[in-house]
């Protein structure tokens, strides 16, 4: 059994990217990306503003056209594997005045597997309620979403990802502008997902917490500067190569990181 599972994992890692280039208005945003993410890792995607982190995620999710290259999820095209993929978009991308409750938003995570025309069932409502409990928002289930704090909104999004019940997750800056309680809740959730064998890719900004939260790291600046276990690739030298000239601040951050180990 053990051998069989390993064999499958070897055959098709959760995410492989070959020669990926994406361009807007003919200007490449990410260029010649080669990447293979092993199963069951918590992966941070780190890089300066405009490095193409969100673009990389959106290309993986088939949301934007690629100029060239190939992306495989568990060895197959996104279209075939979409039920195994979960997505947490940036919080600002949606209108929080939309007339839905936190529970409604979480239940949206089940829509993909429900299929067209099918109503949201009692079962998916119960699942959604459970997920809200897990992120500590059960009491807020019936609130309109603008009446949640920023951190609570982010946790609502995470609960929605939970009910998607995917095997690989893409999260776009879930830690952006959240309170300490939410940050802890998210980290716990990530570890739990990992325990259940899920692979999670997270666009992350706070360099200081990278080694603490993530066991794998992709350093990105248009190209992949380095990718691998955080211990190996998250070095001052690599950070300098990723962030280029704007490094005074980053040297400090990197020093902090090195010291914190």
What angle (nearest 5°) sits at the alpha carbon of residue 82, between those of residues 59 and 30? 10
Per-residue contact string for residues 140-159; x = within reach of another protein by CB under 8 A = ----x---------------
**Which stretch in 60-68, 125-133, 228-236, 246-254 sits in contact with another protein by CB under 8 A?**
60-68
Residue 101 DSSP class: B
Q: Of 10-18, 80-88, 215-223, 238-246, which part binds another protein (CB under 8 A)?
A: 80-88
Q: 65: buried, middle or exposed (CB in 10 Å: 19+, 13-18, 0-12)? A: exposed
The residue among 68 and 146 lying less far from another protein, judged by its C-beta, is 146
111, 136, 211, 241: which one binds another protein (CB under 8 A): 111
Minimal distance, residue 98 CB to another protein, in Å: 5
Among 4, 26, 99, 259, binds another protein (CB under 8 A): 99
Nearest alpha-carbon partner for 213 in 245, 247, 186, 240? 186
Is 106 a binding residue for another protein by CB under 8 A? The answer is no
Stretch that binds another protein, among 9-17, 67-75, 98-106, 194-202 (CB under 8 A): 98-106
CA 120 distance to own-chain centroid: 26
Size of the site for another protein (CB under 8 A): 30
Q: Which of 10, 36, 118, 232 binds another protein (CB under 8 A)?
A: 118
Phi, psi of 50 (to 5 degrees): 80, 10
Q: Is position 122 an interface residue for another protein (rule: CB under 8 A)?
A: no
> Which one of 31, 74, 87, 175 is in contact with another protein (CB under 8 A)?
87
| Angstrom distance (rounded) from CA 42 to CA 207 | 15
CA distances from 251 to 237, 238, 257 (A): 10, 11, 10
* Interface stretch with another protein, choices 41-49, 91-99, 207-215, 236-244 (CB under 8 A): 91-99
Give SS3 for 108.
helix
62 binds another protein (CB under 8 A): yes
**114 makes contact with another protein (CB under 8 A):** yes
In the complex, the residues that contact another protein under the rule CB under 8 A are 25, 58, 61-63, 79, 82, 85, 87, 89, 93-95, 98-101, 104-105, 108, 111-112, 114, 116-120, 144, 160
């Amino acid at each position: 059994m053990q051998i069989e599972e390993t064999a499958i994992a070897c055959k098709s890692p959760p995410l492989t990217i070959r020669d990926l280039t994406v361009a807007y208005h003919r200007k490449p945003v990410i260029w010649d990306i080669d990447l293979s993410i092993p199963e069951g890792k918590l992966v941070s995607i780190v890089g300066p503003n405009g490095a193409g982190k969100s673009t990389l995620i959106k290309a993986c999710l088939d949301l934007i056209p690629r100029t060239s290259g190939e992306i495989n999820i568990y060895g197959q095209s996104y279209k075939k594997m979409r039920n195994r993929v979960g997505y947490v978009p940036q919080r600002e991308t949606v209108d929080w005045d939309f007339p839905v409750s936190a529970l409604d938003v979480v239940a949206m995570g089940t829509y993909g597997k429900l299929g067209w025309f099918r109503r949201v069932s009692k079962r998916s409502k119960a699942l959604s309620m459970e997920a809200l409990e897990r992120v500590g928002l059960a009491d807020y289930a019936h609130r309109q979403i603008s009446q949640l704090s920023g951190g609570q909104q982010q946790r609502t999004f995470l609960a929605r990802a939970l009910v998607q019940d995917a095997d690989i997750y893409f999260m776009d800056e879930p830690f952006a502008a959240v309170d300490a309680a939410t940050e802890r809740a998210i980290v716990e959730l990530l570890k739990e997902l990992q325990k259940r064998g899920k692979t999670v890719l997270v666009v992350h900004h706070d360099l200081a917490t990278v080694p603490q939260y993530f066991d794998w790291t992709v350093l990105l600046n248009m190209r992949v500067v380095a990718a691998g276990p955080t211990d190996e690739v998250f070095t001052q030298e690599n950070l300098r190569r990723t962030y280029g000239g704007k490094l005074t601040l980053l040297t400090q951050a990197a020093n902090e990181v090195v010291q914190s180990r």
